[in-house]
Amino acid sequence: MTPAVVIVGRPNVGKSTLFNRMVGGRVAITLKDPGVTRDRLIKPCHWRDREFLVIDTGGYVPDSDAEIQQEITRQVEIALQEAAVVIMVVDGTTGLVPLDIEIASRLRARGKKFLLAVNKCDIKRRFDETEFYRLGAEKLFIIAAEHGTGVDELLDEIVSQLPPAKIFPRPGLALAILGRPNVGKSTLLNQLLGRERAIVTTIPGTTRDTIEEIFEFEGETYRIIDTAGIRRRPRIEEPVEYYSVSRAIDTIENCDIALVVIDATEGPTAQDKRIINLVTDRNRGLVIVANKTDLIPPELRKKVTDYITTKLQFVNYAPLVYTCALRGKGVWDAVQQAKAVYHSGAMRISSRFLRATILAQLQEQPPAPKCRVISLSQTDIRPPWFRLRVSQPEEVGSRYQRFVINLIRNQFRFTGYPIRLKVTD
């Protein structure tokens, strides 16, 4: 079950503003519980590499009609029953009021620990921060939900308090071999599985034509996922193309890193590029294997490698390994590159370091004269996701997004993974 984070507090303290800031507005479809008179909003939130639900509850209103108040209270109680983390929001511009103290008392009486978000601190007001510690919160965060100030730190603390994610164990890093027919996929597979001590066991696959083999290399276990070649599509109606693409998609979605094999004697074809796009569209790590180098005359190798590099500029962040699978040359270099890509995709860049490197450049070169660049933060890994906050998101076009991604790429590389960017206000 996905853990839930519940936001509680009296009316008009900014609970819904914080809710919208956390979920990013258009993250997912809003869910509503059936049969509830006053609905509570539920949306998923992704932060770092964790997913959790954020629940926005109605404000506690003691002076409302009793029936309405009972319904609000009932919804809060339902939400609190399964809450992994509780956030109580108060208004920093008014200070503590009796209703805040009453809500905190109710939480403590239920045995619920909670984080305290002191909101609206973008409005200048002198207040004694220690007064809010009277509520008995585990930690206190000074935020301005309207502008996002302090929300990143709050989300970091939320993730640290979530229960451990349930991970279904899979043996080793999963590699998929993809490519057109006759580019040498089977030969590459046989080389990987034909080494001494190579095959450990055979695992039946989850899809129709896919099997998984396990091999060891340099003391580590790998899974290799094999599938049929993807043929060129002369007519979309042909079943063979439908199933080959379907198998490829299944394989990609079940792998960590895709090894896309091309024929070095032909160079990257249109179909090779389609296969590469299938991988990048699904946010998997990518290594390109140019096979059959033994068939290239020595005097043409420089020209061929230059041609292949030029044709693959659209994924110039992916390692390119030249192999002769028939003779075993370069095969294990591809595995080493896959391992390097996987580790590269797990890299996290702190918001402080981003401010010191990328953000200053973006603020000097905003997307539009009146569009202010506010912050840049990394929100996820594999692939690396970044959130760019600007004052006018509609001013950030695709060209500027590419500019931001290129700055990140040049600074931090993230070898083998596409960099994703989300623009918010």
344 is in an annotated binding site: no
59 is in an annotated binding site: yes
377 is in an annotated binding site: no
14 is in an annotated binding site: yes
406 is in an annotated binding site: no
277 is in an annotated binding site: no
239 is in an annotated binding site: no
316 is in an annotated binding site: no
303 is in an annotated binding site: no
The full length of the chain comes to 425
372 is in an annotated binding site: no
Q: How far apart are CA 139 and CA 156, in angstroms?
A: 12
293 is in an annotated binding site: yes
422 is in an annotated binding site: no
360 is in an annotated binding site: no
16-26 in b/e form (b: 16+ CB < 10 A) is bbbbbbbbeee
63 is in an annotated binding site: no
20 is in an annotated binding site: no
35 is in an annotated binding site: no
11 is in an annotated binding site: yes
219 is in an annotated binding site: no
226 is in an annotated binding site: yes
341-351 in b/e form (b: 16+ CB < 10 A) is bbebbeeebeb
190 is in an annotated binding site: no
For the chain, what is the HEC assignment? CCCEEEEECCCCCCHHHHHHHHHCCCCCCCECCCCCCCCCEEEEEEECCEEEEEEECCCCCCCCCHHHHHHHHHHHHHHHHCEEEEEEEEECCCCCCHHHHHHHHHHHHCCCCCEEEEECCCCCCCCCHHHHHHHCCCEEEECECCCCECHHHHHHHHHHHCCCCCCCCCCCEEEEEEECCCCCHHHHHHHHHCCCCCCCCEEECCCCCCEEEEEEECCEEEEEEECCCCCCCCCCCCHHHHHHHHHHHHHHHCCCEEEEEEECCCCCCHHHHHHHHHHHHCCCEEEEEEECHHHCCHHHHHHHHHHHHHHCHHHCCCCEEECECCCCECHHHHHHHHHHHHHHHCCCCCHHHHHHHHHHHHHHCCCCCCCCEEEEEEEECCCCEEEEEECCHHHCCHHHHHHHHHHHHHHHCCCCCCCEEEEEC
179 is in an annotated binding site: yes
180 is in an annotated binding site: yes
292 is in an annotated binding site: yes
9 is in an annotated binding site: yes
120 is in an annotated binding site: yes
144 is in an annotated binding site: no
Q: How far apart are CA 226 and CA 210, in angstroms?
A: 6
367 is in an annotated binding site: no
12 is in an annotated binding site: yes
Binding site listing: 9-16, 56-60, 119-122, 179-186, 226-230, 291-294
Binding site listing for GTP: 9-16, 56-60, 119-122, 179-186, 226-230, 291-294
